[in-house]
Structure 1
Amino acid sequence: MGPAPGSASGPGGPGADRSREEALTGRQRLWKGVWPPRLTRAQLIVALLLFGLGLGLAIQVRSTNENSVLRGARQEDLVRILDELDSRTQRLQDEKRRLENQRTELENSSDQAEEARKQTLQKEQQLGVLAGTVAAQGPGITITIDDSRGSVESDMLLDTVQELRAAGAEAIQIGTVRVVAGTYFSDSGGAIRIDGRKVTRPYVVKVIGKPEDLEPALNIPGGVVQSLEKEQATVSVQREKKIVVDALRSAKRPDYARSSSR
């Protein structure tokens, strides 16, 4: 007859569990009761402290071993080590000085390049003013020649320009024409032409320069003003703190002349 239901000897009953538990060793029964382990907060802190203490001891032992090696080294070895350290320090110092010198040279080169660029731009502006390719402004005088009778001829305006240049004029404009080194004056059909362009009366001459030098140069005895007044023209000279010369000439490329600089 088979075992009664609920018997302890059944394959899935409590008797089978006790048999398996008795078959376990003592260590296995111990681990069965504590695994997975449940650590309290205090136990975790103690474990971390022990780990840190062990790591510090390991570092101290290593440092002590290295110091022991140096203490046990021969005098010749210590001298050699010091010489190597001195040589390395000297090389690093030399490299530092070399890099500092390179930095200084680069800074000086950059400053020189910037200064050269500024001087080039300034020279370009100055040449542009003289050539009439850029506008200019500054102190100067305004001359108004009212020639109602039409007796003023081109050579009189040319004398005026030459007198102004001799007195230090830096930029001159007559009407809407910029006067430059190659400017020419001519009479045509009862009118004055400057560089082939007709200028109308009254003639307004704007001049940039030092007013204290320009005005007296025009009013000297036998000078420009008196010569124009002899032709029944009325001349007025007005000093200005700011004169704007904005008539421009196009830059003309020479056909044959080339720079000789290399």
Structure 2
Amino acid sequence: MSEEKEPREREAEPRAAGEPGSAAEGAEAAATEEASGAGEPSAVAAVPREPVRLPSDGRTRLMAALWPPRVSRGQLVVALLLFALGLALAIQVRSTNDHSELRGARQEDLVRILDELDGKQQRLQSEKTQLEQSLAQLENSSNQAKEAQEQTRKKAAELGVLAGTEQATGPGIVLTIDDPQGQVKADMLLDTLQELRAAGAEAIQINDVRVVAGTYFTDNSSENGVRIDGKDVSQPFRFTVVGNPQDLTPALNIPGGVVRSLENHQAQATIVQQQKVLVDALATPKPLQYGKPAAK
């Protein structure tokens, strides 16, 4: 009986906290608590933040205070104004230093410098006058050249009208000769041409043939017509003439003149005055075989 009581007494004795048995029991108790609290959220332990450490070095603290810079708009405006003021003062000081030599110069030196400036001004004025004269001469030469070119072009156009190589337009008359009997011959057309030239005709065209200084007329024996410069021209003969109508019409209607002569040969002449006629037939110029411009 005494032996059975001893084990029970040993079990009833409390175990020390540092003994192995007590550690196992603590682990079992912790596991039991975790199992019992598995359905509840576990409390999150707060992590303590480390305190901000200020730099201990004085230079480091100064740099941290100055950078990054904190500049307001007013400070920026003041800085710009101070910069402009300093720049103006620097320019003023430099200008004053540049003129310091003249301020300290003697009266004789100042007079000499003034004389040199006057002489330089006179030379520049003389050069300016010469350049202005040269410019005026060039302008006159240019104007004269342009005028000469214009005159040459105008003269060439006038000569082209007389030579039959240019078209002509202006006031004039249109003379139409109807010859149903075929009595009008080459000599009668030549007489008509001479009367028109004598009355001041400047350009003449007969049908589609341009009349020039070397124009000639021949009778066409095979047909009822005339050949002008080798081209067959049949009636009615139509003269298109550029000139003063007030001079051309009376020259044709004088007694015993062209109109009366045509009527005597049973031909009818009709004259129509116009403010603008066009002579558009052109003559082919022939090269000169013997004549050439004489040297001046």
TM tier, shorter chain? 0.7 to 0.9
Q: 1:29 Cα deviation (Å)? A: 5.3
The equivalent of 1:39 in structure 2 is 71
- Where structure 2 has 5 or more consecutive residues not aligned to the other structure, the ranges are 1-50
CA distance in 1 between partners of 2:278 and 2:89 (Å): 87
Q: Greater CA deviation, 178-187 or 140-149?
A: 140-149
| CA distances 1:169-223 after superposition (whole Å, capped 9, x unpaired) | 1111111111110001111315311111111112111111111111111111221
The match for 2:213 among 160, 175, 181 is 181
Q: What secondary structure does 2:93 align onto?
A: helix
Q: 1:239 Cα deviation (Å)? A: 1.3
The match for 2:245 among 211, 224, 247 is 211
The equivalent of 1:8 in structure 2 is none
CA distance in 2 between partners of 1:33 and 1:140 (Å): 106
CA distance in 1 between partners of 2:80 and 2:146 (Å): 63
- Where structure 1 has 5 or more consecutive residues not aligned to the other structure, the ranges are 1-13
* Paired positions, count: 244
Aligned sequence identity (%): 61
The match for 2:163 among 131, 142, 146 is 131
The equivalent of 1:249 in structure 2 is 283
CA distance in 1 between partners of 2:59 and 2:122 (Å): 66
The equivalent of 2:187 in structure 1 is 155
Q: 1:59 Cα deviation (Å)? A: 2.0
Alignment of 1:100 with 2:132, yes or no, is yes
Q: TM-score, normalised by structure 1?
A: 0.83
The equivalent of 2:264 in structure 1 is 230
| CA distances 1:83-139 after superposition (whole Å, capped 9, x unpaired) | 222222223323333333333233222222222222122111111111111111111
Q: What secondary structure does 2:89 align onto?
A: helix
Q: What secondary structure does 1:186 align onto?
A: strand
CA distance in 2 between partners of 1:204 and 1:166 (Å): 19
Q: 1:63 Cα deviation (Å)? A: 2.5
Q: RMSD in angstroms over aligned alpha carbons?
A: 2.5
CA distance in 2 between partners of 1:155 and 1:196 (Å): 15
Q: Kindly provide the amino acid, as one letter, of the partner of residue 174 in structure 2.
A: T
The equivalent of 2:36 in structure 1 is none
CA distance in 1 between partners of 2:62 and 2:208 (Å): 114
User: Do the aligned partners of 2:205 and 2:240 also contact (CA within 8 Å) in 1?
Assistant: yes
The equivalent of 1:9 in structure 2 is none
Q: What secondary structure does 1:139 align onto?
A: strand
- TM-aligned CA distance change 1:120 to 1:82, over 3 Å: same
Alignment of 1:119 with 2:148, yes or no, is no
Q: Greater CA deviation, 183-192 or 166-175?
A: 183-192
User: Do the aligned partners of 2:225 and 2:235 also contact (CA within 8 Å) in 1?
Assistant: no
Runs of 4+ aligned structure 1 residues displaced above 6 Å come to none
CA distance in 1 between partners of 2:142 and 2:295 (Å): 25
